[in-house]
């Protein structure tokens, strides 16, 4: 039987050939690292001719094309009327190339993607996790599931995230919908039967739901905002 990691290795080889899969290695404390890819991606390259349409797609979270290797293109079959936004004047090409490291040992937990270059200072870590990995979607939305998807499909979301982050870095405007990480937001937007926000793949009511409720109660007792 093919394991989730083996499926991901095969899919990544086909769809993200510039991200090389590294063989298992042993760290200084005897720990073993399994399931790591490294390589570069430029989410918006010179071939992205319809930049205004593509940026407007990101603003409205409309479908886009993720090309072989991780580039974004406007969908040719799109029939939507596009908008020109003021912040687009501050977008310049080419977009940056990102040196990435992706971790997925093959279990239920979601893959994690770290940006190694360019170095992202703490002041610019919008929609990052505390461990430094990027946050391309809210897990409860079902964008990725360990028993249905591979790392390649996770990377499709990361590529869109990279384009949005680069746009925000240039314009101070984040295109598209944003999620917050507060307990009150989680309780208001995640159903008990959906995946927990923490990327564990466990159902929310079996993972952080009660902890989020306790944090809200504690914040109200202390007179602190929980949103």
Q: From first to last of its 227 residues, what are the pLDDT tens digits of the chain?
A: 789 999 999 999 999 999 999 977 766 666 667 899 999 999 997 766 688 999 999 999 999 999 999 999 988 888 888 889 999 999 877 789 999 999 999 999 999 999 999 999 999 999 999 999 999 999 999 999 999 999 999 999 999 999 999 999 999 999 999 999 999 999 999 999 999 999 999 999 999 999 999 999 988 776 655 55
- In a domain, residue 176? The reply is no
35 closest CA partner among 61, 76, 5, 13: 5
- The reply to whether 26 falls in a domain is yes
Q: Please indicate, yes or no, if residue 33 is contained in any of the structural domains.
A: yes
pLDDT at 168: 96
CA 212 to chain centre: 23
Are 108 and 203 within one domain? no
Cα distance between residue 135 and residue 59, in whole Å: 17
On whether both 97 and 202 belong to a single domain, the answer is no
153 lies in the same domain as 190: no
Are the CB atoms for 70 and 41 separated by under 8 Å?
yes
pLDDT at 15: 98
User: Encoding tokens for residue 49?
Assistant: 């001719």
Residues 103 and 215 in one domain: no
Give the residues across from 100 on adjacent strands: 39, 115
CA angle at residue 149 from 210 to 50, to 5 degrees?
Answer: 105
Asked whether residue 35 is assigned to any structural domain, the reply reads: yes
Q: Is residue 110 part of a domain?
A: yes
Same domain, 126 and 206: no
SS3 label, residue 52 = helix
pLDDT of residue 23: 79
pTM: 0.92
Q: Is residue 206 part of a domain?
A: yes
Same domain (yes/no): 190, 161:
no
- Per-residue pLDDT at 227: 58
Residues 129 and 32 in one domain: yes
69 and 127 part of one domain: yes
- Examine the domain organization and report whether 118 and 144 are in the same domain: yes
Whether 187 and 167 map to the same domain: the answer is no
Asked whether residue 92 falls in the same domain as residue 24, the answer is yes
Range of the domain at 207: 183-222
pLDDT of residue 2: 84
- How many domains are there within the chain? 2
CATH number where 108 lies: 3.10.110
Contact residues for 75 (Cβ-Cβ < 8 A; gap 6+)? 57, 62, 63, 64, 65
């Amino acid at each position: 039987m093919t394991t989730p990691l083996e499926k991901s290795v095969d899919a990544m080889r086909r769809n993200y050939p510039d991200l090389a899969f590294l063989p298992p290695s042993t760290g200084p404390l005897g720990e073993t690292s399994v399931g790591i890819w490294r390589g570069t991606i430029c989410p918006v390259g010179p071939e992205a001719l319809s930049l205004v349409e593509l940026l407007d797609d990101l603003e409205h979270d409309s479908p886009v094309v993720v090309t072989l290797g991780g580039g974004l293109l406007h969908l040719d079959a799109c029939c939507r009327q596009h908008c020109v936004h003021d912040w687009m004047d501050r977008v310049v090409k080419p977009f940056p190339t990102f040196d990435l490291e992706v971790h997925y040992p093959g279990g239920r937990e979601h893959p994690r993607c770290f940006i190694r270059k360019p170095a992202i200072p703490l002041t610019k870590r919008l929609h990052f996790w505390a461990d430094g990995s990027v946050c391309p979607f809210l897990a409860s939305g079902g964008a990725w599931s360990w028993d249905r998807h591979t790392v390649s499909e996770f990377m499709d979301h990361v590529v869109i995230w990279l384009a949005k982050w680069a746009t925000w870095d240039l314009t101070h405007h984040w295109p598209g919908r944003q999620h917050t990480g507060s307990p009150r937001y989680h309780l208001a937007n995640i159903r008990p039967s959906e995946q927990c926000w923490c990327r564990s793949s466990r159902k929310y009511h079996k993972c952080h739901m009660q902890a989020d409720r306790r944090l809200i109660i504690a914040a109200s007792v202390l007179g602190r905002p929980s949103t």
